[in-house]
Amino acid sequence: MAVATRWPLVGRRDELDGFHRALTDPGCEGFCVYGPPGVGKTRLGDECLDRARAAGRRAMRASGDPSGEGLPFGAVAHLLPAHALEGLSGESFDAALFARLLETAREVLAPAADESGAPVLLVDDAHALDASSVAIVDRLMSQGALFCIATVVVGAQAPDAVTRWWRDERSARVDLAELTEIDVDTLLHIALEGPLTAEAAAALWRASRGNVLALRELVLGARAENTLVQRDDIWTLRGELRPPQRLRELIEARIARLDAPGRAALERLSLCQPLALARLEAETGLAVLEELDLDGLIAVTRDGRRETVRLAHPLHGEVLRAAITPLRRRAVLLAEAEAIETHGARRREDPIRIATWRLEATGRADPALLLAAARLARYDHNFRRAADLSRAALAAEPSASAGLVLGEALYNLGSFDEAERILAAASGLAGDDELVARLTTVRRRNLFRGLRREAEATAVAEQALARLRARTAVDEVRAGEAEVLAISGLPQQALTVVATIDATTPRLRVLAAIPRAIALAMTGQTSEAIALSEQAFEEHLALGEDLGIAAPGTHLVNQQFAMSQAGRLDEADAKGRQWFEVAARSRIPLGVMWIGLHLARCAVLRGQPRTALEWARRVRSAIDTSGLEGLRPATDAAAAMAHGVLGDAESSARRA
């Protein structure tokens, strides 16, 4: 399926309303559209021109072009009769000639009998208009002979007359911002003639940051490379998004205009952002940063009393990083790592940054630092980075702790076979009961949910129980046993096991709450299940950076399930949609799948089978992308129920 040639205009209703007010205001001469490159100024201008035409106005176009600076009236020459420009050469024209041209233009532009007002001229890139074209357009506007729509790049040096149009309140001005995440999702749905998975929409939003030009090039490139594909009528990503060559060339051309200090600052940001504004200003100079800010290449944000600088667009970083030489990269990364260490590495994220930079610069780093950074990355749900860091820690110094972090990260990334190898080896290195118990919990989950090797999962737990002596460690493994029983449809047995657990510590209370809430909901004790899940979620968050435990969102999934079981379907649907968006934005595949599955079930119960099929398709797409096969049977069952409600027995049987 091809992408629409002309993309729809989304998220610009307020701007279009502003244009309508300006066009119908007798005292308004124009409408100025300002914004950064690629934000959609021309597309908005085209839509405004179409609306002017629909309102009975004559519509015309012109474009600013620096290469035509030496040709008088070059931008508007095509709007005037050929004889009017006879005798012009270079930049020499006198007042008499200008007056003659102005009068000719007024005659040509005079509204016809079937036109409702003065013609409307769209001047694209008005900041690049030649002086003579600006002069004649300005005079025609002031005389009411022309209404002008002007697009201007923010930060560009525009002619004084263009600036005066809005500054003297002769024209309205709007400033276009990038599209919101919701707008991008809507735009892609229309342009691609079908919905996207939450993960695909979020990835395209992150890569484009709502810049329409970047978004379009990313979509076209991803379609051409079969990275963006349609499965079950839903668009999904198969692999990493990369800027196509055309977009790279546009970005490279923009960066090439920078001087050496400006480019050096951008290179540092591309490798190490965010950087503290105060330090970057001291080392680079305020003038350089102001110029980069004016060009829309950096963004300054405030977090409490701390101001930091980032690249304004992630695609700029990818292009910059690709051009940095290995020695330059090494020097920048090590310098930034040493600078943070010199200042005490006080911030929570500092270990991750230092370990990552040293690993990238030299291929090695302190094993303890790598492991600490991996744990932090895991807690932030950045499982890919957690895997990279813990793999490096394990290679530098084999340990059960590094194997636990790596194995858990691999499970969450869907690399189940590798996770089993790592976890099995780490179990042999574990010397204390706590590590044995945590490794067993993750390994059993990987075998049971990921590889679907139930007998092996049971055997691993039995071997661990025979090895453990500490009561807390035994209870932790028993909590995992109860979880398996609950999700296997054996709630009474799960509750029996949970009753044997001494849940006096916060961690054990959280672990026991997971199977207990599921079992309570399945046995009709829904109010207790909801209250338990709410309390366990808060306690889970308070645990902080604990390993070998499901994500806090597990309790939200259990709460959603209990609400459905209680018949509180509207509430389950509303909360589920909210949590689904959070999971998708945070790139938590298990959260997307579990919440999406319960949304599908909820839709069936609400008598909305087509909505249920939509959610089931999203979940299957997430399963295909992540490789987490454990939830496919339940997803197919929900789809089978939806097909059954629709009376499609054949499709229902195929999914059952």
Cβ distance 120 to 59 under 8 Å?
yes
pLDDT at residue 122, as a whole number: 93
DSSP string, 435-471: HHHHHHHHHHHIIIIIS--HHHHHHHHHHHHHH---H
Of residues 60 and 239, more confidence is placed in 60
Greatest mean pLDDT range, 11-15, 294-298, 381-385: 11-15
What pLDDT, on a 0 to 100 scale, did the predictor assign at position 1? 45
Looking at every residue in the chain, the average pLDDT score rounds to: 86
Is the model more confident about 420 or about 245? Answer: 420
pLDDT in tens, 246-285: 888 888 888 888 899 999 999 999 999 888 898 899 989 9
Is residue 274 helix, strand or coil?
coil
Long-range contacts of residues 629-635, Cβ cutoff 8 Å, at least 24 apart: 629/450, 629/452, 630/448, 630/449, 630/450, 630/452, 631/593, 631/594, 631/597, 634/597, 635/593, 635/597, 635/600
End-to-end CA distance of the chain: 30
- Give the alpha-carbon dihedral of 490, 495, 498, 503, to 10 degrees: 140
Helix (H) or strand (E) holding 477: helix 471-487
Residue 91 has a pLDDT of 46
Q: With beta carbons less than 8 A apart as the criterion, state whether 183 and 205 touch.
A: no
pLDDT of 56-110, one tens digit each?
999 998 888 665 454 566 677 777 766 655 555 544 456 777 787 788 888 888 8
When pLDDT is cut at 50, 70 and 90, the band that residue 422 belongs to is very high
- On whether the pTM is more than 0.95, the answer is no
pLDDT of res. 5? 55
pLDDT of residue 72: 63
Whether 64 and 125 have beta carbons less than 8 Å apart is answered as yes
**Is there a contact between 403 and 422 (Cβ–Cβ < 8 Å)?**
yes
Residues 232-236 have a mean pLDDT of: 82
Calculate what percentage of the chain has a pLDDT beyond 70.
93
Percentage with pLDDT > 90 across the chain? 41
Q: Is the pLDDT of residue 12 over 70?
A: yes
Amino acid 90: pLDDT: 46
For CA atoms 311, 316, 321, 323, the dihedral sign is negative
Q: What is the pLDDT of residue 617?
A: 85
* pLDDT at site 84: 59
Sorted by sequence, the CB contacts under 8 Å of residue 225 that are 6+ apart come out as: 242, 244
Q: Give pLDDT, residue 68.
A: 47
Burial of 102 (0-12, 13-18, 19+ CB in 10 A): middle
Spatial CA neighbour of 605 closest among 652, 654, 559, 569: 569
**Mean of the pLDDT values across residues 566-571?**
94
Report the helix count and the strand count for the chain, using DSSP H and E. Answer: 31, 10
Mean pLDDT of the 541-557 span: 81
